[in-house]
Amino acid sequence: MKSIFEKIINREIPAEILWEDEVCIVIKDIEPQAPFHCLVIPKRKIERIALAVESDGKTIGHLLIIARQMATDHNLDSGFRIVINNGAEGGESVPHLHVHVLGGRQMKWPPG
């Protein structure tokens, strides 16, 4: 079954796209948890970080570099947070790996 993110990548459902290249797409989160909240999503589906293998390393590295680029492009100079939720207890709700980039407010620790 196609994930909601595959449908967005295929333009079957709309999303606000901030960046796209051959490896990933970046969209604004539909339910933002901070003034800036985007998702960096690999086009080639990896279900979750727990299922990533050595050969996914280049893709995952690219996701982090683009996450950093999003923070720079959106002037998150005073700080930002990168999050990957994994599995039910980790708070994952979409089974297609994605990197959250959040910023524009003071982050708390520990996270909820």
Active site residues: 98
Cis upstream peptide for 110 (omega within 30°): yes
Min. distance of Cβ 14 from ligand 5GP in angstroms? Answer: 8
Q: Which of 29, 47, 56, 73 binds ligand 5GP (CB under 6 A)?
A: 29
> In angstroms, rounded to a whole number, what is the distance separating the alpha carbons of residues 33 and 37?
6
Question: Does 69 participate in binding ligand 5GP (rule CB under 6 A)?
Answer: no
Distance CA(64)–CA(40), nearest Å, equals 8
Residues 32-51 touching ligand 5GP, rule: CB under 6 A, are: 39
2, 10, 12, 30: which one contacts ligand 5GP (CB under 6 A)? Answer: 30
Element (H, E) at 112: none
Stretch that binds ligand 5GP, among 21-29, 54-62, 67-75, 103-111 (CB under 6 A): 21-29
Bridge partners of residue 26, in order along the sequence: 19, 40
Residue 95: burial class (beta carbons within 10 Å; 0-12, 13-18, 19+): middle
* Interaction site with ligand 5GP (CB under 6 A): 4, 15, 27-31, 39, 85, 91-94
